């Protein structure tokens, strides 16, 4: 019974909608043809070959007329006017000269028998016009000359099927195309709109916009409506989980600071009382505590930036001053590792920014480049409609499938979890979120010749 459940509420199923729209298109096309056939004047003629009893009866009538005029010496007109013929169907004898043509009955003024002229050279046909149906011709020879016999059936009202049959082919094709286009457009729009909405929401969600939702009407009960609402519920749960994860990370980091502070204080007191043999261990404890303190600070900063709760101290500042300050430390660090830092371009533009946050972002990017570069790190500064800062190294680069993950907190390319090989995985996350907080963007890419490039884009203050 489950397979027939759609019969209870058919409008809740796409199968029924597609089936219905298909037949609506056919019905709409037929209705348009019927309507147009009733309001247009049709002068077309259609015909089909004549076979069987109708052809034999017409041939028998032609022989009777020939026999009557030749054997009984009657005129063709008298033969046609005989009561036996006038009580039957309308007979039309088409002559070579149209004015010599004869009929056995009077015909209405709106019936044009001259439409049959083109059929005289054809074998017997069933000929359809708007006002009448004719069968013929059969050629007869009488003393008055040669004639072509037709049997005429005049309509009181033109049958619908005949009006459709006589409509020009281009009109039929045009109506079919227009009707199917209009109805198919309406159906496609109804079908594709929720799919496009789902697609846009999925793209935004995958890009990190946790507020993205599909615009699906609550009244839509079919499979697409159900899918859209399920997608929105999934997005709600995903947003809640990620929000809870970030909140948990921030709370844990915040709570760790108190015992860490006490640990550092206890270490300091122990150093004052410890002997020389114990000092190396206490110094190691102090170093790790400081490293842990910095890591907790980074985690808190990432959490605040991702939650948009970081209070930015915005001031108009020359970007060149910020870059120069960062380069002083970066150049020194590069020399310590026997690597060369090359700088090109200028950033003599004004930026409305949090100086410390922008400096931290650039510092993290440069340190990452210095760490993985083999010999050279390049920094290129450009500005036009925006500020462009490109930082590249000549290191091994990153697999393309991991580029989008590099800016995720705690992600490290290497599977090793020690800080020597992979760091904490927070530097690039801080850099990206700091740049996004200023309305900019950070894009990571591999150079064709090897190495990783970070392209930073920041908006310029318009004077």
Give buried/exposed letters for 404-425 (b at 16+ CB in 10 A, else e).
eebbbbeebbeeeeeeeeebeb
- Nearest-angstrom CA–CA distance, 455 and 429: 15
Burial class of residue 4 (count of CB atoms within 10 Å of its CB; 0-12, 13-18, 19+): exposed
- Nearest-angstrom CA–CA distance, 314 and 263: 35
**Tokens read off for 413:** 């390319």
- DSSP alpha helices (H): ranges in 340-393? 355-372
In this structure, CATH architecture of domain 315-459: 2-Layer Sandwich (3.30)
**Tokens read off for 232:** 């929105």
For tokens 């509420």, the residue is 9
Please list the residues that pair with 264 across neighbouring strands.
Answer: none
Q: Helix 355-372 vs helix 427-437: angle between axes, to the nearest 10 degrees? A: 140
In this structure, CATH architecture of domain 223-306: Orthogonal Bundle (1.10)
- Nearest-angstrom CA–CA distance, 103 and 245: 99
Q: What is the pLDDT of residue 463?
A: 45
Q: Could you give the maximum distance between any two Cα atoms of the chain, in Å? A: 157
- Nearest-angstrom CA–CA distance, 321 and 353: 12
- Nearest-angstrom CA–CA distance, 93 and 100: 9
- 46-158 folds as Beta-Lactamase (3.30.450)
Is the separation of the CB atoms in 289 and 274 below 8 Å?
no
- DSSP alpha helices (H): ranges in 160-314? 160-166, 169-206, 223-273, 276-306
Q: What is the pLDDT of residue 15?
A: 63
Is 72 annotated in the active site? Answer: no
Q: What is the pLDDT of residue 405?
A: 78
Sign of CA dihedral 283, 286, 288, 294: negative
Burial class of residue 166 (count of CB atoms within 10 Å of its CB; 0-12, 13-18, 19+): middle
**Tokens read off for 409:** 């907190």
Q: What is the pLDDT of residue 415?
A: 46
Could you list the pLDDT tens digit for every one of the 463 residues in the chain?
A: 445 554 555 555 566 667 777 777 777 777 776 666 555 545 567 778 888 888 888 888 888 888 888 877 788 887 787 777 767 788 888 888 878 888 888 888 778 888 888 888 888 888 888 778 888 898 888 888 889 999 888 877 655 555 656 566 666 677 777 777 777 777 777 777 888 888 888 888 887 788 888 888 778 777 788 888 888 899 888 888 877 776 766 666 667 767 778 887 888 888 888 777 788 888 888 887 777 777 777 666 666 666 665 566 778 888 888 888 888 888 888 888 899 988 888 878 888 888 888 888 888 889 888 988 888 999 999 888 888 999 999 888 888 888 877 877 766 665 433 444 455 667 788 788 888 888 888 888 888 888 899 899 888 765 4
- Nearest-angstrom CA–CA distance, 64 and 76: 11
Q: Name the active-site residue from 9, 51, 82, 254.
A: 254
Domain boundaries, the chain: 46-158, 223-306, 315-459
Q: What is the pLDDT of residue 392?
A: 92
How big is the CA angle at 372 (ends 448 and 287), to the nearest 5 degrees?
160
Please list the residues that pair with 132 across neighbouring strands.
Answer: 154
Q: What is the pLDDT of residue 417?
A: 36
- Nearest-angstrom CA–CA distance, 391 and 214: 38
């Amino acid at each position: 019974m489950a397979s027939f459940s759609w019969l209870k509420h058919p409008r809740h199923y796409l199968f029924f909608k597609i089936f219905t729209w298909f037949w609506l298109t056919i019905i709409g096309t037929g209705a348009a043809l019927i309507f147009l056939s009733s309001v247009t004047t049709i002068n077309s003629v259609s015909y089909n070959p004549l076979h069987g009893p109708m052809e034999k009866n017409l041939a028998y009538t032609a022989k009777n007329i020939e026999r009557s005029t030749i054997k009984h010496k009657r005129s063709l007109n008298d033969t046609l006017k005989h009561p036996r013929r006038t009580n039957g169907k309308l007979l039309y004898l088409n002559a070579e000269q149209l004015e010599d043509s004869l009929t056995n009955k009077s015909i209405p003024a709106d019936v044009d028998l001259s439409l049959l002229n083109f059929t005289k050279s054809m074998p017997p046909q069933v000929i359809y016009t708007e006002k009448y149906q004719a069968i013929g011709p059969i050629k007869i020879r009488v003393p008055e000359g040669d004639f072509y016999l037709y049997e005429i059936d005049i309509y009181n009202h033109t049958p619908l099927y005949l009006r459709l049959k006589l409509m020009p082919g281009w009109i039929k094709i045009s109506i079919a195309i227009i009707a199917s286009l209009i109805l198919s457009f309406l159906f496609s729009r109804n079908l594709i709109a929720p799919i496009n909405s789902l697609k846009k929401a999925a793209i935004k969600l995958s890009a990190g916009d946790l507020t993205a939702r599909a615009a699906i009407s609550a009244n839509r009960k079919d499979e697409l409506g159900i899918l859209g609402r399920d997608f929105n519920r999934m997005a709600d749960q995903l947003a809640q989980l990620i929000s809870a994860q970030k909140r948990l990370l921030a709370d844990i980091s915040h709570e760790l600071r108190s015992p860490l502070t006490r640990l550092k204080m206890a270490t300091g007191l122990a150093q004052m009382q410890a002997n020389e043999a114990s000092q190396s261990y206490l110094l190691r404890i102090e170093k790790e505590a400081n490293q842990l303190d910095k890591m907790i600070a980074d985690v808190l900063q990432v959490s605040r930036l991702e939650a948009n709760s970081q209070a930015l101290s915005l001031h108009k500042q020359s970007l060149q001053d910020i870059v120069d300050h960062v380069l002083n430390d970066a150049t020194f660090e590069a020399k310590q590792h026997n690597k060369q830092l090359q700088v090109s371009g200028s950033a003599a533009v004004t930026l409305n920014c949090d100086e410390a946050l922008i400096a931290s972002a650039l510092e993290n990017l440069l340190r990452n480049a210095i760490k993985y570069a083999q010999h050279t790190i390049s920094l290129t500064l450009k500005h036009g409609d925006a500020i462009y800062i490109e930082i590249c190294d000549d290191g091994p680069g990153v697999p393309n499938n991991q580029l989008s993950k590099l800016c995720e907190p705690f992600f490290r390319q290497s599977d090793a979890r020690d800080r020597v090989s992979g760091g904490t995985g927070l530097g690039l996350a801080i850099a990206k979120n700091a740049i996004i907080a200023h309305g900019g963007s950070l894009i990571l890419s591999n150079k064709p010749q090897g190495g990783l490039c970070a392209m930073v884009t920041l908006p310029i203050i318009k004077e």
